[in-house]
């Protein structure tokens, strides 16, 4: 038995850090959006064990891989002996704030649920996924979501209006732990982005959405490459641009496909990882 599934990347339309729990986890308020940039995972039933394969040498294929951990967690919850080989076709850049590892973990949980015909609800899959990473529950649900807590408290929002999204990851990557440490040491402000974004999504107003993009990590990290990419996107017609997650990828929102295509071409002169995509309403879906 074999199944192939797409694992969609995410962007943070907003990200506010609202506090920190006693166990060290940070409390967040975010509006998250799935986009059509995706990895593709093929799961094949095996005799025993969990085997991970990847098209990229920089992807660990052992027990530290989020895909391995998600599969192991699923089999443990189901009380079934592991018996799967998972081949990952990576397209989502790492250390970018695009949730690639979380998207892959979520896709594996959804695919195993179908392959083994366990019939688990998304609530159960989210419970398993949260043990792998805080973004995994969102990637299971997907679409346009208001997320709180450590990322596990999810409230579905109306779908983001159709648009074109250019994503560019600079050469520099960002270590999430270092990003949080920097945010902890920075002076707190009263600026909060997510409430206004929720209103903009409900209004289905793309210009209002673009005007209210905001990310607390971007403000405290102040990466020169992020500033440069945002400037280029806006000069090329983006309605708004912002860093996603803890970085370092930047996205720009366009309502004009030719302008988005031209922007992608311009950024490709200086950066290798540039993508043109659009919003999607799911976190993963079976490939045809």
User: Which residue, among 146, 154, 163, has the nearest Cα to 279 in the 3D structure?
Assistant: 163
Cα–Cα dist 100/11, whole Å: 11
Which long-range contacts does 15-22 make (Cβ < 8 Å, 24+ apart)? 15/193, 15/194, 15/214, 15/215, 15/216, 15/217, 15/245, 16/192, 16/193, 16/194, 16/214, 16/216, 17/183, 17/216, 17/217, 18/148, 20/184, 21/150
Give yes or no for a contact between 245 and 217, defined as CB atoms under 8 angstroms apart.
Answer: yes
The residue from 10, 169, 230, 259 that is catalytic is 10
**Cα dihedral value 121, 123, 127, 133, nearest 10:** 110
Q: Is 10 a catalytic residue?
A: yes
* Residue 251: HSE in the Cβ half-sphere, 13 Å Cα cutoff: 33
Q: Is 23 a catalytic residue?
A: no
For 146, counting Cβ atoms within 10 Å of its Cβ (0-12 exposed, 13-18 middle, 19+ buried), the class is: buried
Q: Which of 16, 39, 104, 135 is catalytic?
A: 135
State how far the alpha carbon of 212 is from the alpha carbons of 34, 98, 207, 217, in Å: 18, 19, 9, 15
Q: Which sequence positions are flagged as catalytic?
A: 10, 135
């Amino acid at each position: 038995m074999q199944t192939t599934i797409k694992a969609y990347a995410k962007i943070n339309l907003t990200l506010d850090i609202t506090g920190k729990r006693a166990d060290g986890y940070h409390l967040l308020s975010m509006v998250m959006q799935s986009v059509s940039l995706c990895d593709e995972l093929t799961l094949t039933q095996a005799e025993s064990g969990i085997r991970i394969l990847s098209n990229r040498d920089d992807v660990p294929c052992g027990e530290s891989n989020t895909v391995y951990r998600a599969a192991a967690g699923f089999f443990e919850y189901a009380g079934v002996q592991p018996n799967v080989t998972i081949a990952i076709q990576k397209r989502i850049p790492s250390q970018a704030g695009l949730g690639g590892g979380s998207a892959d973990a979520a896709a594996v949980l959804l695919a195993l649920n179908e392959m083994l015909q366990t019939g688990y609800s998304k609530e159960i899959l989210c419970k398993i996924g949260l043990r792998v990473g805080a973004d995994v529950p969102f990637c299971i649900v997907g679409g346009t979501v208001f997320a709180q807590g450590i990322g596990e408290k999810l409230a579905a929002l109306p779908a983001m209006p159709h648009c074109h999204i250019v994503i560019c990851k600079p050469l520099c990557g960002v270590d999430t732990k270092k990003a949080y440490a920097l945010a902890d040491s920075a002076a707190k402000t009263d600026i909060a982005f997510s409430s206004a974004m929720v209103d903009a999504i409900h209004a289905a107003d793309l210009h209002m959405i673009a005007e209210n993009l905001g990310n607390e990590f971007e403000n405290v990290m102040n990466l020169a490459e992020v500033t440069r990419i945002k400037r280029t996107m806006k000069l090329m017609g983006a309605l708004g641009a912002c860093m996603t997650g803890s970085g370092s990828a930047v996205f720009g929102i366009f309502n004009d496909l030719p302008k988005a295509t031209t922007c992608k071409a311009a950024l490709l002169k200086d950066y290798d990882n540039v993508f043109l995509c659009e919003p999607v309403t799911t976190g993963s879906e079976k490939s045809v």
